[in-house]
Amino acid sequence: MAAQAEIAFRNARLLDPASGLDQVGDLVVRDGLIAALGPGLPRNAEAGYKEELDCTGMCLAPGLVDMRVQLREPGEEHKETIATASDAAAAGGVTAMVCLPNTNPVIDDVAGIEFVARRAREVKGVKVFAYGALTRDLGGKELTEIGLLAETGALAFTDGERTVTDSLVMRRALSYASTFGVTVIQHPEDPALAAEGDMNEGEIATRLGLSGIPDCAEVMIIERDLHLVALTGGRYHAAHISTAASVEAIRRAKARGLAVSCDTAPPYFALNETSVGDYRTFAKLSPPLRSEEDRKAVVAGLKDGTIDAIASDHAPHDQDSKRVPFSQAAFGAVGLETLLPVSLELCHNGSMPLLEVLARLTQGPANILGLPLGRMEAGAPADLVLFDPDRPWTIDPDAFRSKSKNSPFDGRPVQGRALRTFVGGRTLFDRNGAG
């Protein structure tokens, strides 16, 4: 007996960046997989669909793959948990996310990787993966058991929000990781130059009386690391790049054929340092919001493919961490529920075609991490997002499903919203059902 088709999507704008598909058609889900897709699929009255959706005017795409999320579990569950982050991700159209290892305890051993996997299975939400710490306890000195952690399921290795500043440690990390075919991810910021800094160095910081972080603090680390990549042949990824100089450095490295990639986050192409305004702590990020020239350079890097992926850089903080004087506030912002709509601004303002924006949110991060996700083809997991690309709404953090509400986009009018999110053919989020 043939398996029953669970869902039939009709008349959707099918968008698959991996294959270049962009056409109105149908898609059928069976047993958690995409069974068929294309224009005008035959309608079998005996198929017995559990649900048949008329998607006229809506887009159907692979679920977003968010490669930089802080889950706060274990250790800081008052800020976020795997369950609440999963709810927030589903509401934003994210079907897979990868968490940083800067939890308490740090994810620097097999038990940490297994804990995340077990909790994700218990939650039964979006797919959750983990990075392994690059150095023990994120101390920047002693390498972790990269091979063993990779075998256990660690997708790549990073010290999270900490920079590996010791050049010899980074050289050894790149060389060691290359023997296992895994990527080293760097938070590129020279901590000596960034120490005590609150925002981007410049006229606005001076006017506000805040300590500045120079933009060269980012590219100096990237340039050093690129020399080490050339020396070792390792695979290297620069996280959340925010400056014109960084974009250009990565662009040159790619032209040389080095195994490098990078991502950025919505604040760095949608905001600039003026968003700090009158000491808005929700706009205190790491790296900091940069100049308008840097913002434009990040957009150009996304457009020409220098920047491979867009990640939420989800960093939840409670009120006590943000409702304090600017210099005392924690760095970071939530981003799971604003990732899609803010990224769609690149399409609405004419910077990039819709399919290219989606590529940075799906295929791009999946390729970097070697995940068989971010594609919409027959036989692939039915991890999908149905969204209205033009629906207008105003971002209201009070309505977020995340435990934390620290968004720099509070009150921002946007266009485009996830309507339903599916993982393995299961509806994890339904905006109509959720109200």
The vertex-124 CA angle with 48 and 128, nearest 5°, equals 120
Q: Which residues is 69 bridged to in the sheet?
A: 99, 314
The domain ranges of the chain are 5-60+381-391+411-434, 63-369
Q: Which of 108, 159, 308, 313 is catalytic?
A: 313
| Strand 413-423, strand 212-213: pairing | unpaired
Which CATH code fits 5-60+381-391+411-434? 2.30.40.10
313 is an active site residue: yes
DSSP state for residue 6 in the 8-state scheme:
E
Phi and psi, residue 307, nearest 5°: -90, 120
The 3-state secondary structure of 101-143 reads CCCCCCCCCHHHHHHHHHHHHHHCCCEEEECEECEHHHCCCCE
Which backbone phi and psi does 415 adopt, to 5 degrees?
-125, 130
Task: Give the domain 63-369 fold.
Answer: TIM Barrel (3.20.20)
In this prediction the pTM is 0.96
pLDDT tens over the chain, length 435 residues = 344 458 999 999 999 999 999 999 999 999 999 999 998 787 765 566 788 999 999 999 999 999 999 999 999 999 999 999 999 999 999 999 999 999 999 999 999 999 999 999 999 999 999 999 999 999 999 999 999 999 999 999 999 999 999 999 999 999 999 999 999 999 999 999 999 899 999 999 999 999 999 999 999 999 999 999 999 999 999 999 999 999 999 999 999 999 999 999 999 999 999 999 999 999 999 999 999 999 999 999 999 999 999 999 999 999 999 999 999 999 999 999 999 999 999 999 999 999 999 999 999 999 999 999 999 999 999 999 999 999 999 999 999 999 999 999 999 999 999 999 999 999 999 998 643
